[in-house]
Structure 1
């Protein structure tokens, strides 16, 4: 039951915005008011800000006919990492809101 953000009598299971060892998901059992929850909120803000900056940079690079394939590949790699972060944030927030499937967006 913990993967879906449901309260378990102790606290709520929250998917954290970072991966653990070997890329595995990290969860926190909390009432949402502790130190780790505040750190997770701050990390989410940074990750979302970075995603916005990457989108702006992508628009600039795509408009620049001089952008090299190496530059575009580098941008695409960073955007892939950012999209992974944003998806994890969406899953975490959806689960905490009680959105059906919030812990699994149904994307393979």
Structure 2
């Protein structure tokens, strides 16, 4: 008999149609896991690009309140994505550490 450790559900980097979190039961090596890894990478790159853009805007004395409101909305979206990624990765790190401690 083979022993398969229970792995916790992975929080995916996107939400369902109603904005609810999506989870995946996997060992981390499937097609959907790789797709989630790719989406996380894109989201993190976009957040970094947005931070660079915000830094430029903050140095611009002619930036309008409308431009600032728009970029703040995008920052909110990016921060939500980054927070979800951090929660997902943190949970997987804890599960991995717990699994190693049980050996």
Matched, 1:20 2:16: yes
User: How far apart are the structure 2 equivalents of 1:69 and 1:98?
Assistant: 42
Q: TM-score, normalised by structure 1?
A: 0.81
User: Runs in 1 of length 4+ with deviation above 4 angstroms?
Assistant: none
Which residue number corresponds to residue 103 of structure 1? none
User: How far apart are the structure 2 equivalents of 1:49 and 1:35?
Assistant: 21
Contact 1:14 1:28 in 2 (8 A): yes
Q: TM-score, normalised by structure 2?
A: 0.85
Contact 1:12 1:31 in 2 (8 A): no
Which of 1 and 2 has greater Rg? Answer: 2
**Structure 1 residues not aligned, in runs of 5+:** 1-6, 100-108
The equivalent position to 2:55 in structure 1, one of 38, 53, 59, is 59
User: How far apart are the structure 2 equivalents of 1:25 and 1:45?
Assistant: 18
Matched, 1:88 2:84: yes
Matched, 1:37 2:30: no
User: How far apart are the structure 2 equivalents of 1:53 and 1:67?
Assistant: 18
**Structure 2 residues not aligned, in runs of 5+:** 96-103
Root mean square deviation, CA, Å: 1.2
